[in-house]
Amino acid sequence: MENHFETGLDNLRQKLLLMASRAETAVNESVQALMQRDHDLAVRVRESDQVIDNFEIEIDEMAIQLLTKAPLATNLRLITVAMKISQNLERIGDEATKIAKRARDLAQEPPVKITLDLPKMATLALAMVKDALDCFVHRDPNAARAIIPRDKEVDALNKQMHQQLTQHMIGEPQSIARCLHWIVAAKSLERIADHAKNIAEEVVYLYEALDIRHPAAKIQTPANPA
Amino acid sequence: MQSTPAHSFLSAAPALTVRKLSIYFGQNKVLKEVSIDVSAKAVTAIIGPSGCGKSTFLRALNRMHELTPEARMDGEIRLFGEDIYARHVEPVIVRRRVGMVFQKSNPFPTMSIAENVTVGLRLNGLRDRKLLAERTEESLQMAALWNEVKDRLNAPAISLSGGQQQRLCIARALAVRPEVLLMDEPASALDPLATQKIEDLIIDLKKDYTIVIVTHNMQQAARISDFTAFFYLGNLVEFGQTAKIFTNPANKQTEDYVTGRFG
């Protein structure tokens, strides 16, 4: 006899992984469009964001229907975590759209004469997203924990790129508008890594029922007023 | 209060069409002009606080009130278009077409598992042993009990656990190949695991049967039903797709009931 509730949970997991795959593709293609000055690809990435948005809506609907069925323990955490992961994936899709928009505009301008390691940043951020989702699939909270510090590496690259571009803008003020596009694109990749970190934290919560977000905030919780 | 259904959500012809159904016990009107279309090959849950008329409604669907001397009804119930209360229609035939599973499992204690399954068929005069054996296996398979009892079909039915006994009663109801299955709180006396098996079975059965289930368990209604009807004080307050009733009911009373504010 089929366990229909479990089937519903499996469908939710599958939908989430499909959404993740679309979000990863969008980021990859947006960076490709940026580096290769591919205007058409950038336009396509922007148009595909609607698909990722629709996934978020569908996952929320599935989750709400499953919540009405009174899930408990792990199942309850899975449903709420799925909603949060899908929200992070939707925002990753939004960041890909922002990069694509900058790629579209930059493709119509002369190139900026500066060497930026944006692909490395994209590789690191996307690896974090992929690894966080692998931990979700393989039920591995320890590996999820190991992803969290990697966010610092992406932050450092963003900072380094910001400094490079600032120097370039001082030296070549006519490139300011184009350099600002690059700054925004790098910032988007930095945000994608933040979302991957959020997903990793949710995976720890899912499998260990332990909230590891904002560790400092708990210490500073004010006492109840008299 | 809603009395005339506007059932745009029914995609196919309804199995049961209920119009202005009122039931009286003596002077007491316990069901008040209920109109509802029960969708074929779907699960319809009837919910509401005790005394709201939900079991009364269920029993009217297979003419069980005729067994109660002071009960009478107004209105009309059609089963695939046929008036089940028409003069020429035999109640026994209606009950064969519309089976019932009760809250408490009630296997015949002196009969074996197999005899329990085929009792309805034998009462209808079926004697062919091969056919009876075939129907026993088919019904137990459908009730998801076959694998658990196939090696002890001649054991007493009361040797089964509570959950198995309830599935045996479902097999017994299925053996006469009804078109509609009525269930009155079929899992309320069972533990969570046995309840889950019954719920999964109900979802499996809707591929072939129209099911109407009375339940006090809101989450059970959410888990297994496609449509939900909320009754209160004998009135049908709201009827619609379960997904909507449990997330965005149109009526404040429904919302208060499904969220546990009263009842």
> Alpha helices, DSSP H only, in B16-161?
54-60, 91-97, 113-123, 129-142, 146-149
Is residue B98 within a helix (H) or strand (E), and if so which, with residue range?
strand B98-101
* Distance (Å) from the alpha carbon of A41 to chain B's nearest alpha carbon: 40
* Distance (Å) from the alpha carbon of A192 to chain B's nearest alpha carbon: 33
* Contact between B223 and A65 using a beta-carbon 8 Å cutoff: no
Compute the C-alpha angle B90/B93/B97, nearest 5°: 140
A219 band by pLDDT with thresholds 50, 70 and 90: low
**DSSP letters for B44-84:** EEEE-STTSSHHHHHHHTTTGGGGSTTEEEEEEEEETTEET
**Does A68 contact B at CB distance below 8 Å?**
yes
Window 5-64 of A, Cβ < 8 Å to B:
5, 64
d(Cα B233, Cα B53) in Å, to the nearest integer?
7
d(Cα B180, Cα A156) in Å, to the nearest integer?
67
Bridge partners (DSSP) listed for residue B181? B99, B211
Q: Which CATH code for domain B14-107+179-258? A: 3.40.50.300
d(Cα A14, Cα A9) in Å, to the nearest integer?
9
- Domain residue limits, chain A: 4-212
d(Cα A82, Cα A14) in Å, to the nearest integer?
11
How far lies B241's CA from each of B5, B11, B112, B224, B246, in Å?
13, 12, 40, 12, 9
**Does B206 contact A at CB distance below 8 Å?**
no
DSSP letter, residue B159: G
Is residue B168 within a helix (H) or strand (E), and if so which, with residue range?
helix B162-175
**Does A159 contact B at CB distance below 8 Å?**
no
* Contact between B144 and A1 using a beta-carbon 8 Å cutoff: yes
- Domain residue limits, chain B: 14-107+179-258
**Does A177 contact B at CB distance below 8 Å?**
no
* Distance (Å) from the alpha carbon of B65 to chain A's nearest alpha carbon: 33
Shortest CA distance to A214 belongs to which of A192, A197, A191, A189? A197
Assembly ipTM:
0.72
pLDDT in tens, A121-140: 999 999 999 999 999 999 99
Window 217-236 of B, Cβ < 8 Å to A:
219, 222-224
* Distance (Å) from the alpha carbon of B93 to chain A's nearest alpha carbon: 31
Q: Which residue of A has its CA nearest to B225?
A: A69
Instruction: Give contacts of B224 with chain A, Cβ < 8 Å.
Output: 4
Bridge partners (DSSP) listed for residue B82? B79
Shortest CA distance to B31 belongs to which of B59, B64, B68, B62? B59
**Does A73 contact B at CB distance below 8 Å?**
no
Percent over 90 (pLDDT), chain A = 88
Window 144-203 of B, Cβ < 8 Å to A:
144, 196-197, 199-201, 203
Q: What is the mean pLDDT of chain A?
A: 94
Give me the total of CB pairs closer than 8 Å, taking one residue from chain A and one from chain B: 31
Bridge partners (DSSP) listed for residue B235? B232
**DSSP letters for A50-112:** HHHHHHHHHHHHHHHHHHTT---HHHHHHHHHHHHHHHHHHHHHHHHHHHHHHHHHHTTSPPP
* pLDDT at residue number A48: 94
**Does A65 contact B at CB distance below 8 Å?**
yes
* Contact between A68 and B200 using a beta-carbon 8 Å cutoff: no
The two tokens of residue B237 are 């307050």
One digit per residue, the tens of pLDDT, for chain B of length 263 reads 444 444 446 667 899 999 999 999 999 999 999 999 999 999 999 999 999 999 999 999 999 988 888 999 999 999 999 999 999 999 999 999 999 999 888 999 999 999 999 999 999 889 999 999 999 999 999 999 999 999 999 999 999 999 999 999 999 999 999 999 999 999 988 888 889 999 999 999 999 999 999 999 999 999 999 999 999 999 999 999 999 999 999 999 999 998 888 76
What number is the average pLDDT over the span A163-183? 96
pLDDT in tens, A73-91: 999 999 999 999 999 999 9
What number is the average pLDDT over the span A184-209? 97
DSSP letter, residue B250: S
How far lies A53's CA from each of A23, A90, A93, B1, B210, in Å?
10, 6, 8, 39, 37
Beta-carbon contacts of residue A183 (< 8 Å; ≥ 6 apart): A161, A162, A165
Whether the Cβ atoms of residue A213 and residue A99 lie closer than 8 Å to each other? no
Amino acid at B12: A
* pLDDT at residue number B67: 83
* Contact between A1 and B199 using a beta-carbon 8 Å cutoff: no
Helix B113-123 vs helix B162-175: angle between axes, to the nearest 10 degrees? Answer: 30
CATH class of A4-212: mainly alpha
pLDDT in tens, A47-76: 999 999 999 999 999 999 999 988 889 999
Burial of B233 (0-12, 13-18, 19+ CB in 10 A): middle
* Distance (Å) from the alpha carbon of B133 to chain A's nearest alpha carbon: 22
* Contact between A69 and B222 using a beta-carbon 8 Å cutoff: yes
**DSSP letters for B172-205:** HHHHT--SEEEEESTTTTS-HHHHHHHHHHHHHH
d(Cα A32, Cα A48) in Å, to the nearest integer?
15
* Contact between A4 and B199 using a beta-carbon 8 Å cutoff: yes
Instruction: Give contacts of B244 with chain A, Cβ < 8 Å.
Output: none
d(Cα B218, Cα A2) in Å, to the nearest integer?
22
What number is the average pLDDT over the span A97-120? 94
The two tokens of residue B229 are 């009807």
**Does B204 contact A at CB distance below 8 Å?**
yes
Whether the Cβ atoms of residue B187 and residue B203 lie closer than 8 Å to each other? no
Beta-carbon contacts of residue B55 (< 8 Å; ≥ 6 apart): B184, B214
Beta-carbon contacts of residue B12 (< 8 Å; ≥ 6 apart): B39, B40, B41
Q: Helix (H, G, I), strand (E, B), or coil: what is residue B263?
A: coil
Beta-carbon contacts of residue B171 (< 8 Å; ≥ 6 apart): B116, B117, B139, B140, B142, B143, B145
Q: A5, A69, A76: which to substitute to probe chain B, counting the most B Cβ within 10 Å?
A: A69
**Does A69 contact B at CB distance below 8 Å?**
yes
Dihedral (C-alpha) B20, B45, B57, B230: value to the nearest 10 degrees? -60
* pLDDT at residue number A2: 81
